[in-house]
């Protein structure tokens, strides 16, 4: 091509770019400003720049390996992409809404840097498989980050549980005193809940790890590409088996949001308990200054704002899940622009969940339990009433329903006199049930009631300690 021909080609290309942005010869004029505003996603999908660069590098390496582009093109593309990554990290990259998304912003800048080789990079791929690949890689990274954060939260819970395996407190149902437990036992319930969250995220990670790259728009490509090569380079287990499904699939985003919604509910439940425990009426724990705030008018206040904000986060995350479900509901295969609405909710949910986990881990690590307040609370609500019924069944052979009635009568007597169950005189209990012996007094003491529950997963301090040791192994907490 002569210099004059090259000049004419450049002018023609510039004219096309001016008229129709990125769309080339099919369009003779550009979109309206309103169309650009509704169509652009660069305001949020620039988060995908690392994944987009990595995907393009893998795709270029595969094209060169298969003889579709030259080694010189590959070298230029890699150098250009490395420069773009450095520019973005340095804050020196200009993101253009007119170029719509992170993919076209990077590709256009690459062309500015290396010229013609950049125009060969998009061979045998589409933005459909490109965005699916980038988004999957980002969600995969997110899941790995969340797993580490949840393991850190488990470690904080385990440390407090280990320190308070013998610290007595009331266990509640309906927020009414039920049976005596230990603070360590109570916290271990959340260790298990967070463990299930980690399991769900691990399942989501396993399911998503199939590469869409090379599926192109929806039907694959006639170029002799190697999808297994790009899948391996990008850390996927295998390429997705159906090109249409590969570009249409957003199950991986739904998996994250569904698992994240459940996780946020678990965090919210613990946050609510911390709000209750730290209240003046309970005083079971004291939160540090790092996770509380004051009042603009009441100088005495110490508000558990971190816990309250964690308690509110499920609204955002469940909302994001519902939003994406509605976007995908009834959407025909393969790709529709509707699917551009897949990311903002995921990004927002990821931010909300990430900060909630980190704040909860900090709060749990810093909070100071008050064993005296917990023990004092066991003087209310007759927490050993079930132990009395169990004694009547186990030692005296009384049917449980009858034992339940007898125990209720003794509880009523204790309430009338304003004393704990173990302070009711033996003779008065025998007046209700003559078979009762002096052995019952020891059984009714809360320390003995807790220690007696030695069944697997029970409240006995030795059993709690055993489950702590087991949890450290199962969840790989050092």
**CA–CA dist 358, 373 (Å, integer):** 28
Positive or negative, the CA dihedral 264, 268, 274, 275 is: positive
**CA–CA dist 252, 136 (Å, integer):** 7
What is the DSSP secondary-structure string of 84-146?
Answer: HHHHHHTT-----GGG-SHHHHHHHHHHHHH-HHHHHTTTT--HHHHHHHHHHHHHHHHHHHH
Annotated catalytic residue within 28, 29, 174, 476 = 174
* Residue 279 annotated among the catalytic residues of the structure: no
- Residue 167 in tokens: 């610290």
Residues with Cβ within 8 Å of residue 404, at least 6 apart in sequence? 389
Positive or negative, the CA dihedral 408, 409, 411, 412 is: positive
Q: What is the three-class DSSP state of 405?
A: helix
- Residue 369 in tokens: 């339990």
Give which of 246, 141, 150 is closest to 204, Cα–Cα: 141
Residues with Cβ within 8 Å of residue 77, at least 6 apart in sequence? 56, 57, 60, 69, 110, 114, 117, 118, 121
* Residue 103 annotated among the catalytic residues of the structure: no
Per-residue HEC secondary structure of 326-349 comes to HHHCCCCCCCCHHHHHHHHHHHHH
| Residue 415, number of CB atoms within 10 A of its CB | 12
**CA–CA dist 123, 130 (Å, integer):** 12
Annotated catalytic residue within 7, 32, 70, 295 = 295
- Are 302 and 280 within 8 A, CB to CB? no
What is the DSSP secondary-structure string of 204-241?
Answer: HHHHH-EE-TT-TTTT--SS---HHHHHHHTT-SEE-S
| Residue 406, number of CB atoms within 10 A of its CB | 19
Give which of 135, 251, 143, 267 is closest to 194, Cα–Cα: 267
As annotated, the active-site residues are 174, 295
């Amino acid at each position: 091509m002569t210099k004059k021909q090259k000049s004419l080609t450049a002018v023609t290309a510039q004219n096309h770019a001016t008229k129709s942005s990125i769309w080339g010869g099919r369009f003779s004029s550009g979109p309206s400003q309103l169309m650009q505003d509704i169509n652009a996603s660069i305001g949020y999908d620039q988060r995908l720049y690392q994944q987009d660069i990595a995907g393009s590098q893998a795709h270029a390496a595969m094209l060169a390996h298969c003889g579709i582009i030259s080694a010189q093109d590959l070298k230029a593309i890699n150098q250009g992409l490395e420069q773009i990554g450095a520019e973005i990290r340095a804050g020196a990259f200009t993101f253009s809404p007119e170029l719509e998304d992170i993919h076209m912003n990077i590709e256009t800048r690459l062309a500015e840097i290396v010229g013609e080789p950049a125009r060969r990079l998009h061979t045998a791929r589409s933005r459909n498989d490109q965005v699916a690949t980038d988004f999957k890689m980002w969600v995969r990274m997110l899941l790995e980050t969340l797993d580490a954060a949840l393991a850190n939260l488990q470690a904080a819970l385990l440390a407090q549980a280990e320190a308070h395996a013998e610290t007595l407190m009331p266990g509640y149902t309906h927020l009414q005193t039920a049976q005596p437990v230990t603070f360590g036992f109570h916290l271990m319930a959340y260790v298990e809940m967070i463990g299930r969250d980690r399991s769900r995220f691990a399942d989501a990670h396993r399911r998503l790890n199939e590469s869409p790259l090379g599926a192109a728009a929806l039907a694959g490509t006639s170029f002799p590409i190697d999808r297994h090569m790009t899948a391996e380079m990008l850390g996927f287990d295998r390429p997705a088996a159906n090109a249409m499904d590969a570009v249409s699939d957003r199950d991986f985003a739904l998996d994250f949001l569904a698992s994240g919604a459940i996780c946020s509910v678990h965090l919210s439940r613990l946050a609510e308990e911390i709000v209750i425990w730290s209240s003046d009426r309970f005083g079971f724990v004291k939160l540090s200054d790092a996770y509380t705030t004051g009042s603009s008018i009441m100088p005495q206040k110490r508000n558990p704002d971190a816990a309250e904000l964690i308690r509110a986060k499920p609204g955002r995350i469940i909302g994001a899940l519902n939003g994406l479900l509605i976007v995908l509901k009834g959407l025909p295969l393969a790709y529709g622009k509707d699917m551009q609405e897949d990311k903002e909710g995921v990004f927002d949910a990821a931010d909300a969940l990430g900060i909630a986990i980190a704040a909860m881990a900090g709060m749990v690590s810093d909070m100071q339990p008050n064993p005296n307040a917990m023990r004092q609370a066991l003087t209310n609500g007759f927490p050993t009433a079930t132990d009395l019924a169990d004694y009547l069944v186990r030692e005296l052979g009384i049917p449980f329903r009858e034992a339940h009635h007898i125990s209720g009568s003794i509880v009523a007597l204790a309430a009338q006199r304003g004393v704990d169950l173990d302070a009711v005189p033996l003779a008065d209990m025998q007046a209700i049930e003559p078979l009762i012996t002096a052995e019952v007094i020891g059984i009714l003491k809360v320390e003995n009631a807790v220690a007696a529950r030695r069944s697997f997963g029970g409240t006995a301090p030795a059993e709690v300690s055993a489950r702590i040791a087991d949890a450290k192994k199962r969840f790989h907490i050092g």
